[in-house]
Amino acid sequence: MRRLINPTSVVFVAIILVIAVWIGRGMLFREQVQAPEPEDERVPRVAASWSEAEDITLELVLYGDVEPVQVTILRARVDGIIEEIAAQGSHVSRGDRVGRVSADDRTARLARAEAQVASASRDYDAARGLADRDIGTEAEAQARRAELEAARAELQTIELEIANTELTAPIDGVINEVITDIGSYVSVGGEVLEVVDNARLIASVQVQQTAIQGIRTGMPALVRFIGGGAQEGEVRFVSAVADAATRTFRVEVEMDNSDGALPSGLSAEVVLPFETVSAHRVSPALGRLDEQGRLGVHVVDDDDRIAFLPVEVVRARGDGVWITGLADRARIVTISQGSLAPGQRVTVTETPPEYLGDIPDNDAAPAEVPHEPEAGSENAAPAEDD
């Protein structure tokens, strides 16, 4: 019996049993071990926010100069020495006396003309009486009448000259410059002073031919002055012919300045609203470029798949940009892990509040608009809050 049970045989059999059990256990649980899922088949997670379009008015911003509505040079109607002149800076109304030219010999000429009229009147009356009594001729009476009318014309001329020695303001305004001082000689037509009407101001700008079709007279405008301050106005003039050198059109915006608070000659920024469009306000960091170099944003469709939609920026300000090219209501991706491709299925969550900037309430856009970039996406960098 001892010969049949060899210790070496027992050890050998035990080793065979252990190997068999180990192999069998591996075969048993082989089907239960699943191969790891390929990295490229995992569904990425993104955060997105609903955005609703709002109506905004597109604006044309141009730079120009502020001019007075009217500048008039007062010129002398008679020659002579300036004996009186108003002070520079004086406020005047049309017809107010602002100076005087010396009368010189005009007073004597007036007296002579009055005497000639009186003499000619007597001669005509006598000739008329003789003609009526058939003593004198009708031709003689008509000759004396002609002499009377000539004398009267001479009298009117000298009276007008004397009246014109009084210098009166041609318009309401301010005497901006005294050109001829007291004691200086001025000839007929010589410049005496400059009157500026600042009650209404004109902001003059040059509009490119690509935008002129949207500008109409009577449309509102906003004028911002360099150095501070703004004033509302309206377009009063649009040139019908382009400047031959620049191919631009002159546009004038008129604004009230009845209190005289604004001087002329300021540089200004003129804002002209010309079109209303429906646009979304987003953070500029959400913009992406596709393979064709088009600017767009990633959105999530109803099947939780990514879509790249080209957009156009129609307004840019410190609190975001306004874009067109999306539906009136769109779910825009704000945060993602890795790059996204059109048609890719994603798991969508709402954007955390801390990633959304503070957006003021707007009746036309009740939903919040995302202001943060897609974190971790390709060519993206986190942006500071606007």
Mean pLDDT of 260-270: 87
Q: Provide the pLDDT for residue 17.
A: 65
**Angle, alpha carbons 316-319-320 (nearest 5°):** 45
pLDDT band at 13 (very low <50, low <70, confident <90, very high): low
Say how many CA atoms lie within 13 Å of 129 toward its Cβ.
6
Percent of the chain with pLDDT over 90: 53
Q: What is the pLDDT of residues 149-207, one digit of tens each?
A: 999 999 999 999 999 999 999 999 999 999 999 999 999 999 999 999 989 999 999 99
| 70 CB-near residues (< 8 Å, 6+ apart) | 171, 173, 196, 197
Q: What is the mean pLDDT of residues 61-80?
A: 93
The pLDDT score that the predictor gives to residue 168 is: 95
What fold does the segment set 45-56+277-355 form as a domain? 2.40.420
CATH superfamily of the 61-68+197-275 domain: Efflux pump adaptor protein, beta barrel domain (2.40.30.170)
The CA-CA-CA angle for residues 78, 82, 86, to 5°, reads: 110
Quick one: which of 65, 70, 356 has its CA closest to 197? 70
CA–CA gap between residue 235 and residue 256 (Å, rounded): 12
Mean predicted confidence (pLDDT) in 336-356: 84
Contact present, 98 and 283 (Cβ < 8 Å): no
* One fold for 45-56+277-355 and 61-68+197-275: no
- For residue 369, give both structure tokens: 């608009």
Instruction: Give the pLDDT confidence score for residue 24 in this predicted structure.
Output: 58
Q: To the nearest whole number, what is the mean pLDDT of the chain?
A: 83
pLDDT above 80 for 374: no
Task: Produce one character per residue of 23-52: b if its CB has 16 or more CB atoms within 10 Å, e if not.
Answer: eeeeeeeeeeeeeeeeeeeeebebbbbebb
High-pLDDT (> 70) share of the chain, % = 81
Confidence of residue 282 (pLDDT cuts 50, 70, 90): very high
Sequence spans of domains, the chain:
45-56+277-355, 61-68+197-275, 103-164
Q: Alpha-carbon distance 110 to 108, whole Å?
A: 5
pLDDT at 275 exceeding the cut of 50: yes
